[in-house]
A and B are shown apart, each in its own frame.
Chain A
Amino acid sequence: MASTPRTKGELKIVASADLHDLGANESPAVSYAWSSWHIGLSPRILPWLAILGLCLLRPNRCLQAWLVWLPLLAVTGIGAGIHHWLKIDDPGFRLFVQLLPTALAFGWTASLLLVPLALRPTKPARFPFLLLGLTVFSLLELALGYDWKEETFVDVVCALALQFMVFGLAAALSLAGRSASRRFTIPRLLGWLVLWSLVVWLALAVPPVSLSLVGNREALYGISGAIGCCCLISLLVTLPFLALAAAVPRYRQRLQQMAVPPQPAPEPAATVQRQERVLA
């Protein structure tokens, strides 16, 4: 795959290989008309347009709401930067460093933007919302932001790994929110999130590790490594979004609404007195 030429117009492409007199070493030049439309029509921008669309919804039309772009850009930029600078041409490396973190960051961003529309403060359905929001937008980014035409085994592993990560994150965040509900602070939530992530990923690891124990030890190492990477990535991707929530009150409230179950409101004292009078 050639990187995008920074030009417009007709390109000539030539391949060459030493054929040792069985034919000419250079191929006939192939013409290709390159235009800026190729960039404009790229399906890769669709997930970005989807996030932009969510930012234009009524509850998000303010400067504070648009700050959600910062953690998203940070995660995608760091992932792309590491992949670009290290130049490790390995599908597995790209999967864990760039594709999965970026997809998960899209899921996080969309979920935070959707909270005021999808969750009422009293509604206790936190986990389904988290699972649905993270899944839909993560898979959207993965499906459109990645070249699926090669249909390699890595593609299947990629989609499966993302599903596990989304489930693990949604479950760990719900459980962490429940644990931190009495005195909600971001550091407390983070602490519980780390703990519950370990518990959830250990639970998720039981079936594949049991199966690999029946097989060979090399598979066990591979599966354990992959599970560890998935757990670590989901926590690392979460950090910038927790930082956003710590810095911006609007997102602190949304995170609390997303993760912490609604607390029963204390009954007003006047009502209690009235009831006591009725009983008397």
Chain B
Amino acid sequence: MKPNARICGLAGALMSLGALAWLCATAAAAEAAVTTTPGSEPSLQIPLESQELAEPLETFNLRFSSVTAPFAKEPDLGRHRIVRGALGFGGPTNNFTRFLWDQTANRLYLDLNDNQDLTDDPEAPFPGEYDGYLQLFPRLKLSLESPSGRHSYLVDLRLGGSNPGQLQGTCAMRSIWQGRLELGGRAYQVGLAENPLATTAAGEAHYFLFRPWDARNEPIRLNPGTPHLVSWSPKIFIARQAFSVAANYKNEAGVPRYLLTLTPTQPPLGQLRASGQFLYRLVLQDPVGYSAILDSPVEEGSLPAGNYRTAEVWLRHGTAEAFYIGPLSLIVRANESVSLVAGGPLTNTVTAQGRGVELALTYRLTGQRGLDYRMTSEDRTNPPSWRILANDKELASGKFAYG
């Protein structure tokens, strides 16, 4: 081999090695969900993807701005009754999406690309359905500006009103952001639900989603409630670990994405001994500290010291589920133990109060500590019933009325 050829071969080998090393490093960086900062435990970064929900999560009122001038390019709608307008969420912005509503054909044209041309939007027009006195446009993608950038919301849109000055409507959010996280050898689904009315980027994350990965297909309903969404808190305690939480939204090249960052923290811990039957999940909220999510079994374990003011107590037995959401005072001191009595069994409770010639009966479903619970499966068409007995003989019976 000539010396020149030997040098070329060596250089080629070195370049190949360099390229291989660069490729390996790039691949490692792409796969990593863990990043480290000097002097602290590694942060967990979870990319979140949008997921459509089987049913609407939360409903928001829309703001309307009247638009009377025709769009630069409109479909030929003949003599149809049409209403032009612009809709947006409740924040103090001038951010609206303009639309043309063909009330005769029950179709909605949205100017999603904001170019005054209603004939070039690929998904338009959106067909509507009659839903009471409003027209429903289901599973519609709204694209609106927010403090962190342009967001795309999957919504059920309801519109009413026969002229631009009388427009009214709501939109029900139908999507959440979710990703997968492994903690302590167990897989979880984590994510967030957005608040489209937020006026700051920090306020855009409305609820924190956290549940075992196996439970990811359970429906999420805010009415009457779900154990798997808790109010967003910058500090959370999940799977017996404390984290500070941040959600960063980016919309690059029209691809929206959230990055959820969980940074481990080391708060002083106390011990909780919880007693009560059927406890499935306990959510304790300190308004200036941590939101602690304690999953079954929650009988004994640690949690950050703090002055917890409110709680969610979720009970499950088989397919039955009941919950309490409300005030619950619990002070947890560092390195000290505290007891909490909450949970089942549940008791149907009735109180009677004479009101003149009538007897007012009040129903409550109570658990330990006298907390008021609700069944998530409550059938409002079949409320609890009552009976009045005298000398073991039934005098009267009936059903309670909700209200």
Chain A residues within CB distance 8 Å of chain B: 1-7, 9-17, 19-30, 32, 34, 38-39, 41-44, 89, 147, 149-150, 215-218
Are B348 and A217 in contact (CB-based, < 8 A)? no
- Residues A22 and B384 in contact, CB atoms below 8 Å apart: no
Measured in the bound complex, the distance between the Cα atoms of B400 and A18 in whole Å is 14
User: Do B318 and A21 touch (CB < 8 A)?
Assistant: yes
Contact partners of A4 in chain B: CB under 8 A: 357-359
Q: Which of B89-97, B115-123, B328-336, B339-347 contacts A (4 or more CB under 8 A)?
A: B339-347
Which residues of B sit under 8 angstroms from A26, Cβ to Cβ? 348
Q: B378 to nearest A CB, angstroms?
A: 9
**Could you tell me the distance in whole angstroms from the C-beta of B376 to the nearest C-beta in chain A?**
11
- Does B166 lie at the interface of the complex (its beta carbon under 8 Å from any beta carbon of A)? yes
Stretch at the interface among B16-24, B67-75, B186-194, B360-368: B360-368
CA distance A150 to B356 in the complex (A): 15
A-B contact pairs, 19 of them (CB 8 A): A1-B360, A11-B352, A11-B389, A15-B363, A15-B386, A17-B348, A17-B385, A21-B318, A22-B322, A23-B347, A24-B347, A26-B348, A27-B349, A30-B350, A30-B351, A39-B356, A147-B355, A149-B355, A215-B166
In the complex, chain A residues whose CB is within 8 Å of the CB of B349: 15, 27-28
User: Of A9, A10, A41, A218, which is within 8 A of B356 by CB?
Assistant: A41
* Chain A residues closer than 8 Å to B400, beta-carbon distance: 15
Which one of B228-236, B292-300, B390-398 is at the interface?
A: B390-398
Of all chain B residues, the one with the shortest Cβ separation from A42 is B356
Task: Compute how far the CA of A6 lies from the CA of B395 in the bound complex, rounded to whole angstroms.
Answer: 8
Q: How far is the CB of A17 from chain B (nearest CB, A)?
A: 4
Chain A: CB-nearest residue to B401: A89
Among residues of A, the one whose C-beta sits closest to the C-beta of B319 is A20
Say which size band chain B's interface belongs to. Answer: 35 or more
Which of A16, A23, A218 meets B385, CB within 8 Å? A16
A216 touches which one: B160, B278, B387 (CB < 8 A)? B160
Given A7-B390, A13-B389, 14 more A-B residue pairs with CB atoms under 8 Å apart are A4-B357, A4-B358, A11-B395, A14-B350, A15-B363, A17-B365, A19-B375, A20-B317, A20-B318, A30-B350, A30-B352, A34-B354, A149-B355, A216-B161
Judged by a CB distance under 8 angstroms, whether B162 is at the interface is yes
- Given A24-B345, A43-B356, A215-B166, the answer on whether A12 and B317 have CB atoms closer than 8 Å is no
Determine whether B315 belongs to the interface, using a CB cutoff of 8 Å to chain A.
yes
* Contact across chains for A13 and B384 when beta carbons are under 8 A apart: no
- Structural contact, B386 and A2, CB atoms closer than 8 A: yes
Point out the residues of chain A lying under 8 angstroms from B318, CB to CB: 20-21
**Contact of A2 with B390 in the complex, beta carbons under 8 Å:** no
Nearest-neighbor residue (CB-CB) of B391 within chain A: A9
Query: Given A11-B395, A38-B354, is A21 in contact with B320 using a C-beta cutoff of 8 Å?
Result: yes
Q: Return the contact of B348 from the options A23, A34, A147, A216 (Cβ within 8 A).
A: A23
**Distance to closest chain B CB from A37 (angstroms):** 9
Q: Report if B168 contacts A (CB, 8 A).
A: yes
Contacts of A27 in B (CB 8 A): 347-350
In the complex formed, the residue of A with least CB distance to B398 is A2
The distance from the CB of A232 to the nearest CB of chain B, in whole angstroms, is 25
Partner of A16, one of B357, B384, B388: B384
Closest to B354 in A: A38
C-alpha gap A21/B319 in the complex (Å): 10
B133 near A218 (CB under 8 angstroms)?
Answer: yes
Looking at the assembled complex, report how far the CB atom of A222 sits from the nearest CB atom of chain B, in whole angstroms. 12
- What residues of B have a CB within 8 angstroms of the CB of A22 in the complex? 278, 315, 317, 320, 322, 344-346, 375
Shortest CB distance A8–B (Å):
9
- Partner among B346, B350, B363, B395 whose Cβ is within 8 Å of the Cβ of A19: B346
For residue B379, give the distance in angstroms from its CB to the closest CB of chain A: 9
B357 A42 Cβ-Cβ under 8 A: yes
Residues of A within 8 A of B166 (CB): 215-217
- Closest A residue to B345 by beta carbon equals A23
- In the complex, what residues of A have CB within 8 A of residue B168's CB? 216
CA distance A6 to B393 in the complex (A): 13
Q: Which residue in A23, A28, A29 is a CB contact (below 8 Å) of B346?
A: A23
- Is there an interface contact between B357 and A39, defined as CB atoms closer than 8 Å? yes
Chain B residues, Cβ within 8 Å of A6: 395
How many angstroms between the C-alpha atoms of A34 and B391 in the bound complex? Answer: 13
A15 to B349, CA, bound (A): 7
Could you tell me the distance in whole angstroms from the C-beta of A7 to the nearest C-beta in chain B? 5
Cross-chain contact B389 with A29 (CB below 8 angstroms): yes
Closest 8 CB pairs of A and B: A20-B320, A42-B356, A23-B346, A17-B384, A27-B348, A15-B350, A23-B345, A12-B389
Q: Mark B279-307, 1 if CB is under 8 A from A, else 0.
A: 00000000000000000000000000000
Which chain B residue shows the least CB distance to A23? B346
Q: Do B350 and A9 touch across chains, with their CB atoms under 8 A apart?
A: no
Assembled-state Cα–Cα distance A211/B218 (Å): 47
CB distance from A244 to the nearest CB of B (A): 29
Q: Are B388 and A13 in contact (CB under 8 A)?
A: yes
A23 touches B344 (CB 8 A): yes
